[in-house]
A and B are shown apart, each in its own frame.
Chain A
Amino acid sequence: MITPSTVIDTNDTIAKRWRRATEEPVWIRITLITIALTFLTLFLVLPLTVVLYGAFEHGIGVWYAAVSDPDALSAIRLTLLIVAIVVPLNTLFGVAAAWSIAKFEFRGKSILISLIDMPFAISPVVVGLIFVILFGSQGWLGPWLSSNDMRIIFAVPGIVIVIAFGTLPFIARELIPLMQQQGKEEEEASLTLGANGWKTFWYVTLPNIKWGLIYGIILCNARAMGEFGAVAVVSGRIRGETNTMPLHIEVLYNEYMFTAAFAVSSLLTGLALVTIAIKSAVEWNDERRQRIAAA
């Protein structure tokens, strides 16, 4: 006789068998998840915790003293200034480069694509040296610059240049595959409907690349704030003048001011976290709008 309980039993075994056929064995799943979580903990969560712990170990007062020190304030201001110049610049370049690569056919396209990757391939120290050779007082353009009373190396313009160079690929790299995959049909549709090039870009292209662009900007921004090697070479490390936040942290560290070093580090990390939070908020808001519109 079939009782309800036996029916459930049979269903259960069928379900189990079916699960076995479509999923990995339990031990594989557990191993993979463990490996992923261990790595995340070791290389992401732990350092973040250490930074925050180190920064606030001696209380908020000490933290505040470290970040409101005139040299620290100067480094923060300089870093923000650089970000404000470099990120818009590279956004413009990235969109223009991706646009031309994805939507047009021209000679030297593959060379342009490889060139865009170059800043990733070259060591930041070498990048710094390249610009010292170009603009330094002993460099090719040095005499002309000094006779015109212009300073690039050991000054803010030099820092802007090396950081712009180092972060150049981020946005372009993010957008090129995206725009290539999207093709140009929507733009063409917009043009046939009477929209000019600028309106087409604003109403059709930009919304389509929005997420790639935001992601690229965040990466570019993070790197611009954190860039060390090339800046160390060209800035001359003048305290209160040409030290960016990473350089200032290194100075503090070298002078055994660990708490101060951690305090400024926590601020730098915080800035990075803020950009990620902004991205998530925009994403979440956009999704919600779409859901409401769809309902």
Chain B
Amino acid sequence: MSIEIDHVNKHFRDFVAVDNVSLTFRDGELTALLGPSGSGKTTLLRIIAGLEQPDTGRIRFHGEDTTDLHVSERGVGFVFQHYALFKHMTVFQNVAYGLTVRPRKTRPSKDEIKQKVMRLLELVQLDWTAHRYPHQLSGGQRQRIALARALAVEPKVLLLDEPFGALDAKVRAELRRWLRQLHDDIHVTSVFVTHDQEEALEVSDRVVVMNKGRVEQDGSPEDVYDHPANPFVYQFLGNVNLFHARVHDGVARIGDVQLPAPEFQGYKNEHGQAYVRPHEIEVFAGREHSDALHAKIEVISVVGPTVRLELRTDNSEELVHAELTKHRFRALGLAQGGDAWIRPTYSRVFLPDERVSND
């Protein structure tokens, strides 16, 4: 079932939480709403669910206007960051809840409920916990129960609010792979909110980047990561270095390094900022290339198989971060406090807004 968000606005007192957002989530798609805290992503999700009423705008499920439909009648599955399991009920009772509270006419029989609940518990691989209470389970287990509970009512759409936000790194990674698989199996239209770019990129079919209540970019994970629409998305999706750059006739210059910037064909000698990812910087121990930039190594940190360097150069105001493999690092024989030469291999240049022609 597709979800259509049509010019939705929402504010809390003076704070604009959602600013004229229009989006369509296609049937069966798993979409990540990605943004920093306060970007309006959770509010938008709650508006879709009916837990929050928009000031203006409409929400449509499969073309049908649900804006004024009560939460309990929308048929959404909602998964909360802190699970929101019913503490006083067993796991079984939690998962069965959505079925047992139905009016007698539409309520399945006891046996049917039991079968369905056990099937769902098997799906989330926790059938052995049926008679336990939530407080006896780990965080990851609780969230899987919460998911099973949401799925029990066969929701038309599944909404997840920072579902892995309260879990530790290892469980998070496991659960998000598991969620992806689950989605491939059941194919329910799903939207999940996260502030973790890695999570968004790994799990989703599509990423919507939000900031200050607005949609900054909307596209496939690859697209969003490789072709950020603006400086915000660039900075939010992974680490990035900013270099001073000059743009002239489709070429960006960082010091002596020349990189293509085809979108600025026809621009003459404009000053801008070049955005370069840490892994898109080559590092050399000596002056092997005439165009490489000189830098001083300030910090070397080894993180597992990767080595991160923090370098000081005249072409950037901040320390430049570069990443290389441990293997390459050893081959170069770099030392803290020593000299190095760096060369960006790919960049994306943004000019100040007033210098960009809109034609």
Residue positions of A touching B, CB distance < 8 A: 185-186, 188-196, 199, 203-204, 207-208, 290, 293-294
Contacts and interface: CB of A to CB of B under 8 A. Distances in A.
Contacts, number: 72
B88 A207 contact: yes
Nearest to B159: A192
Contacts of B73: 194
A192 B150 contact: yes
A175 B95 CA distance: 28
Given A203-B97, A293-B131, A294-B136, A193 B88 contact: no
Contact of B153 (A193, A207, A208): A193
A204 B80 contact: no
Interface of B: 49-51, 70-78, 80, 82, 84-88, 90, 97-98, 101-102, 131-133, 136, 146, 149-150, 152-153
Contact of A195 (B49, B50, B82, B97): B97
Given A193-B149, A196-B72, A294-B133, A188 B84 contact: yes
A225 B146 CA distance: 45
A190 B131 CA distance: 20
B80 A189 contact: yes
Contacts of B98: 193-195
B51 A188 contact: yes
A185 B133 contact: no
Q: Which 9 A-B pairs have the closest CB atoms?
A: A193-B98, A185-B84, A192-B78, A195-B101, A189-B84, A207-B88, A191-B71, A199-B101, A191-B72
Contacts of A190: 86, 97, 101
A203 B84 contact: no
Contact of A193 (B82, B90, B97): B97
A189 B101 contact: no
A180 to B, nearest CB: 16
A204 B87 CA distance: 9
A192 B88 contact: no
Contacts of B87: 186, 208
6 contacts: A185-B82, A188-B78, A188-B84, A189-B84, A189-B149, A193-B97
Nearest to A192: B78
A185 B90 CA distance: 18
B97 A192 contact: no
B78 A203 contact: no
Contacts of B97: 190, 193, 195, 203
Nearest to A186: B84
B132 A294 contact: yes
Contacts of B133: 290, 293-294
A185 B132 CA distance: 21
Which of A188, A194, A208, A293 has most chain B Cβ within 10 Å?
Answer: A194
B269 to A, nearest CB: 55
Contacts of B71: 188, 191-192
A211 B139 CA distance: 26
Contacts of A192: 49-51, 71-72, 74, 76-78, 150
Nearest to A193: B98
Given A194-B102, A195-B72, 18 more contacts: A185-B82, A189-B80, A189-B84, A189-B85, A189-B86, A189-B146, A191-B71, A191-B72, A192-B72, A193-B152, A193-B153, A194-B72, A194-B73, A194-B75, A194-B101, A196-B72, A293-B90, A294-B132
Contacts of B78: 188-189, 192
A196 B103 CA distance: 10
Contacts of A204: 86
Contacts of B84: 185-186, 188-189
